[in-house]
Structure 1
Amino acid sequence: MAYKASGAGYADVARHFRTLIQDGELTPGDALPSVQEIRQQFDVSAKTVSRALSVLKTEGLVTGRGSLGTVVTAQPNVAATGAARLKRLERTGKEYAAGESSTDHVAMVRSCADPDIAEQLGIELHDEIVIRRRVFRQNGQPTVVALSCIHIRARSAVPEVTQQGQLKPFWQKTYTERTGLTVTRGPERRSARLASSDELAALEVEAPATAAVPVLVLRTTFHDENGPIEVWEDVHAPGLWQTSDAGV
């Protein structure tokens, strides 16, 4: 946790500890340094430290714990966005944060029936794509149904994308190593819609068959020099807070 930033503001201090928490360097129950230690570490005033800790408490990342000072919370209702997971992987090499896991990894080749995804991939509607699906969990509870819609051209370089089960390493890394083409990430697009029955089942949400359950949906498009290569779609369980890589 060595860091020294003369003249840092409260947002810089909050960002530093937020990143440590999201990357799993600080886990639930761990204590943050004392106010005096943070003051010395960042060369800031006690007021600046207080504001930074207040921000982290508002975000549900830390809480006051008497003589223990400020400690990291369990965050059962927080789920990372796809962009945040990728940034964490790039920073630390860690695929999962503390308490996070993924299950139900499925791969298939299907025609693309979603006009928006077809447009983002630069293909015709009903062209074939590779679809990879998994469910992210926090402490065993499902938080995100994650869908990867991969351009069929990627299969020639990485045939493993159609392999069932979890892929290691991340397929884009293998693609870059084999083709020399760098894959870049576009911004996350956020929208809301009603969840399908399959999504509710994967998220273990019990609702009447006629119920309308809104969910947050995040989409991210990836490109190489030849055009779009993948679209991520994350469907978040109702009632969750999302953490992104914004400002990290």
Structure 2
Amino acid sequence: MSAEVEGQGPPFARIADHYRSLIETGVLAPGDRLPSIREMASTFDVARGTVANAISALESEGLVQTSNRSRAVVSVPNEALSDLAVVVELPDDMRVTSTEMLKVSGSLAHRLGIDDRSSVLVVRLRRISSG
């Protein structure tokens, strides 16, 4: 399947524009995953490196986050972050190992007292040995 990306400029810029538009219009919400690089390369009939450049452009704008060997995830907008602050002091023997935005639904959302399909930030911690 091949999709034509409208606009001017190199293919990576047109692909980035396509996903930027989906993010800015709310079609893709914070925590949503973008298709894999392989899927996007197939959809737009371009090389995987072209898609990787498009994702890098979106990441540099703060629109998506990537982590090693996983798909890009739509970031929380900066203006939303300015309204949210949680400060947690960690003991000296604790380290943050990863963070991830997820959509929570069903019974977990109910138990947390939040709306279905709300985005939450998951912070994983690890205790380090002192010896």
| Bigger share in helix | 2
After TM superposition, give the deviation of residue 54 of structure 1 in Å. Answer: 0.6
1:55 aligned onto 2:68? no
Aligned to 1:22: 24
How far apart in 2 are the matches of 1:24 and 1:3? 24
Look up the equivalent residue of 2:43 and give its one-letter code. Q
After TM superposition, give the deviation of residue 5 of structure 1 in Å. Answer: 1.1
* Percent identical: 37
After TM superposition, give the deviation of residue 65 of structure 1 in Å. Answer: 3.4
How far apart in 2 are the matches of 1:140 and 1:27? 17
Uncovered stretches (5+) of structure 1, i.e. residues with no partner? 78-137, 142-248
Aligned to 2:117: none
After TM superposition, give the deviation of residue 66 of structure 1 in Å. Answer: 4.2
Equivalent residue runs for 1:93-104 within 5 Å: none
Report if the CA contact (8 A) 1:31-1:68 is conserved: no
How many residues align? The count is: 80
How far apart in 2 are the matches of 1:17 and 1:3? 16
Look up the equivalent residue of 1:27 and give its one-letter code. A
Look up the equivalent residue of 1:4 and give its one-letter code. A
Look up the equivalent residue of 2:3 and give its one-letter code. K
| Bigger share in strand | 1
Q: TM-score, normalised by structure 1?
A: 0.29
Aligned to 1:192: none
How far apart in 1 are the matches of 2:41 and 2:3? 10
Equivalent residue runs for 1:172-183 within 5 Å: none
CA gap 1:41/1:27 in 2 versus in 1, 3 angstroms: same
How far apart in 2 are the matches of 1:3 and 1:76? 33
Task: Let me know the Cα RMSD of the aligned residues.
Answer: 2.7
Uncovered stretches (5+) of structure 2, i.e. residues with no partner? 84-131
Report if the CA contact (8 A) 2:12-2:54 is conserved: yes
How far apart in 2 are the matches of 1:59 and 1:20? 14
After TM superposition, give the deviation of residue 67 of structure 1 in Å. Answer: 5.1
Aligned to 2:119: none
After superposition, the C-alpha distances for 1:108-132 in whole angstroms (9 at most, x for unaligned) are: xxxxxxxxxxxxxxxxxxxxxxxxx
Report if the CA contact (8 A) 1:27-1:72 is conserved: yes
After TM superposition, give the deviation of residue 49 of structure 1 in Å. Answer: 0.4
Q: TM-score, normalised by structure 2?
A: 0.53
How far apart in 2 are the matches of 1:3 and 1:140? 39
The structure with higher relative contact order (CA 8 Å, sep 6+) is 2
How far apart in 1 are the matches of 2:29 and 2:53? 21
After TM superposition, give the deviation of residue 75 of structure 1 in Å. Answer: 1.8
